[in-house]
Structure 1
């Protein structure tokens, strides 16, 4: 099964291109579901039909779904929310305000990912196209499974034991109800489901496609997005440049825009070397409906398969060597000064800008020491050597002589 996520800066037209990509895939014979994780659902508007909380067939083999976040929230978070409401009630918070406070931040996007998991597990689809939210929301969302995993492995077991031991004393002393086993079970269930989503989206059949418009600020954000998606192990397989002015027949005013866009598009080609860059021409009217969207996508992809699985090495790889191993993490467009690297026990802490990833090392690497690190050719390479002693390189350009 193929999973394709489209994301980009708000307003660049990603919903239209997601809808078109899905329509083309279905027209070419793939049973396709297009799913929105964007809180501002636009797929119904793009197809010009009513869409419900369950997959709705809008054309042969083409189904559309906009997740009912409230329903999924109640199903997945009810036990935790019930406990939080008890706590807030005990300290005198108004019931209506308490219900607002207990809503999980970013619940719509998180629960849409859980819906993606269910649909992927069903085996009903050849392809699932995901219309993601704006890039910042998408990055926070895709980083969530690993962040929650760290909490689940290190904090939750201790909290379970502590609460079980001290519940009677704490409830009498502070008058606030302590969480029961159902609360911890709900959190563990959420973690397991999100971990499964992460495995799906970082697997060989999944990738992310960046949507941008030929503007300098949009390009700068797209470049950062490629770097940060790679940091968390997601494969970016191409770029969709949308709303490109056609050069033919341009008057003086439009000719200025054409020239400005061409300069940015040249930077796009230079920035995303190795990735296909597809262009979508600015149209006089927005395409609406399955046929118009499929025609748009067919023109954009220009005979290329919109669901082609990306070839080549993924963002993350470990290679064994005679004296240890080399861990490779793709970090496109990054210089060595942009990366901070540290070792913390069984974790490798990689920081790029405002994003940090805690990489839990496989047991085979965890017992080795970090012997060197290097940022080159769009990747961070960390060399591990057999030893009982750990070293912590704070700068990834230290001890680089042994890394290719």
Structure 2
């Protein structure tokens, strides 16, 4: 992994995530940081930064990421807009080429590029592919700012590589892959169906690509910023985002309150709106104080922003690969050995913002399934805990603690 840092910008729908991402990327570039803004959005903020319509697809990469374009007037700032349709076509045609012999054997006619229309979810996969490429070995950036979808969708998007890799391991487990050479023998002697060689190769390639994306997401030099508007939904959106990000081990580097009205207006209506915003800001500030992360405020312009020149950039701290990550939550799934003193192992998972409602914990074989705040994560248990039973769990001070006691039938005496 190179020394590239990544800032993932998400938040409430319509709260101005793209504007915050663009302003932050521009500020970083002006400070001498070679920066790439990666986005799927369009509109008044980004259109002035991109070439005229129809020209930005020239030079599209194999993954569907348009060639990054330098921004006039901002040295060191580049913008790339993902193209879900192009990314989907590239992926589908690549798969078709790799299994061409199978399609020919089945008598299937290959699809033409013009026939391919992206399926639901193609946009999410395009963002992941673009992020992988932007942070690849040949990366030319010091910082990649990613304009992500709204918070709930973004958390699930970031969890997708880990989930898909788990599905691949279940569908093509290692023991069956190791038995590839015995496939003809097994088929004749035991009637055991074995996947064709192309299936193993496709699974291995997909696992490698997903692993590269997951490496970027899990990198200590990757952090998230949550953007909210100080309205009635802000506290709930932020609380949910904090829980989801922590469940998957992502670091929250800062919270942005966007479109904050000035206080002290003589207009009773504006004064009332501003007062309500101030009440919401206090609740947001309390959540930030709990996590030890900064809260940034951006003033309401009274109209849509025009380009990256307007508005306050967010000086979110994204540490380098060798620097300690301040406020990073403890590593999830860490086990504390308390056998000697208390007779159990203690597993703790930080879940800031989580409540008892919607919180669930299930032991499933050698895996632990955790539901919190509408999100779910499934992880394999360490070898020691596989020989233990769940003895209890408690949610205290924003952390879920689970006790494991040794199973007498499995634990060495």
Moved more, 57-66 or 119-128: 119-128
SS in 1 for 2:233: helix
Within 2, Cα distance between the matches of 1:125 and 1:254?
A: 43
For the pair 1:54 / 2:74, whether they are aligned, the reply is no
Name the counterpart of 1:4.
7
CA shift, 1:124, in A, is: 1.8
Aligned residue among 263, 273, 285 for 1:257: 273
> 1: CA distance between counterparts of 2:201 and 2:19?
39
Given that 1:15 and 1:46 are in contact with CA atoms closer than 8 Å, whether structure 2 keeps it comes out as no
Q: 1:213 aligns with which of 222, 225, 229?
A: 229
Residue 7 of structure 1: how far off its partner (Å): 0.7
Please tell me whether the aligned partners of residues 358 and 374 of structure 2 are also in contact (alpha carbons under 8 angstroms). Answer: no
> Could you tell me the TM-score, scaled by structure 2's length?
0.77
Match of 2:46, SS state, is: helix
Of the structure 1 ranges 200-209 and 377-386, higher mean CA displacement relative to structure 2 is found in 377-386
Unaligned runs of 5+ in 2: 58-65, 189-193, 320-324
Residue 311 of structure 1: how far off its partner (Å): 3.1
- Alpha-carbon distance between aligned partners in 2 of 1:284 and 1:337, rounded to the nearest angstrom: 39
How many angstroms does 1:45 deviate by?
2.5
Inter-partner Cα distance in structure 2 for 1:390 and 1:12: 53
**Residues 239 and 277 in structure 1, CA contact (< 8 A), matched pair in contact too:** yes
1:358 partnered with 2:378:
yes
2:178 matches 1:190: no
1:255-302 deviations in Å (ceiling 9; x for gaps): 111011111111212233222111111013433334x14x621xxx4x
Question: CA separation in 2, counterparts of 1:17 and 1:242?
Answer: 8
Match of 1:17 among 14, 17, 20: 20
**Does the 8 Å CA contact 1:54/1:67 hold for their aligned counterparts?**
no
Query: Aligned partners of 2:298, 2:45: CA distance in 1, in Å?
Result: 21
Equivalent-residue separation in structure 1 for 2:273 and 2:123 (angstroms): 37
List runs of 5+ in structure 1 lacking aligned partners: 170-177, 392-404
1:35 is the counterpart of 2:38: yes
Match in the other structure for 1:372: 392
**1:187 and 1:71 mapped to 2: Cα distance?**
22
Q: CA deviation at 1:140?
A: 2.5
Q: Is the 2:251–2:327 Cα contact (8 Å) retained in structure 1?
A: no
Structure 1 residues 342 and 71, CA gap change in structure 2 (3 angstroms): same
Matched residue of 2:135: which SS?
helix
Q: What is the CA–CA distance in structure 2 between the aligned matches of 1:9 and 1:45, rounded to whole Å?
A: 19
The alpha carbon displacement at 1:239 in A equals: 0.9
Q: Is the 8 A contact 1:80 1:187 kept in 2?
A: no
User: Map of 1:17-166 to 2, 5 A cutoff?
Assistant: 17-36=20-39, 38=40, 40-42=41-43, 45=46, 47-50=48-51, 53-58=66-71, 59-78=74-93, 80=95, 99-100=116-117, 103-121=118-136, 122-157=138-173
Aligned length, in residue pairs: 368
The structure richer in helix per residue is 1
> Within 1, Cα distance between the matches of 2:276 and 2:19?
24
Say yes or no: does 1:286 pair with 2:289.
no
Q: Cα–Cα, structure 1 residues 336 and 64, in superposed 2: closer, same or farther, change >3 Å?
A: same
Mean CA deviation greater in 75-84 or 55-64: 75-84
Q: What are the Cα deviations for residues 100-155 of structure 1, in whole angstroms up to 9, with x where unaligned?
A: 4xx45311221221221122122422111100012232132122122212211112
Q: Retained in 2: the 8 A contact 1:48–1:288?
A: no
CA distance in 2, matches of 1:152, 1:388: 33
Partner SS for 2:302: coil
Instruction: Check conservation: 2:362, 2:370, Cα contact below 8 A.
Output: yes
Q: Could you give the per-residue CA deviations for residues 232-255 of structure 1, whole angstroms, max 9, x where no partner exists?
A: 222222210101111144412211
Instruction: Provide the residue aligned with 1:396 in structure 2.
Output: none
How large is the Cα RMSD of the aligned pairs?
Answer: 3.6
Q: 2:363 aligns with which of 343, 347, 357?
A: 343
CA contact (8 A) 1:30 1:127 kept: yes
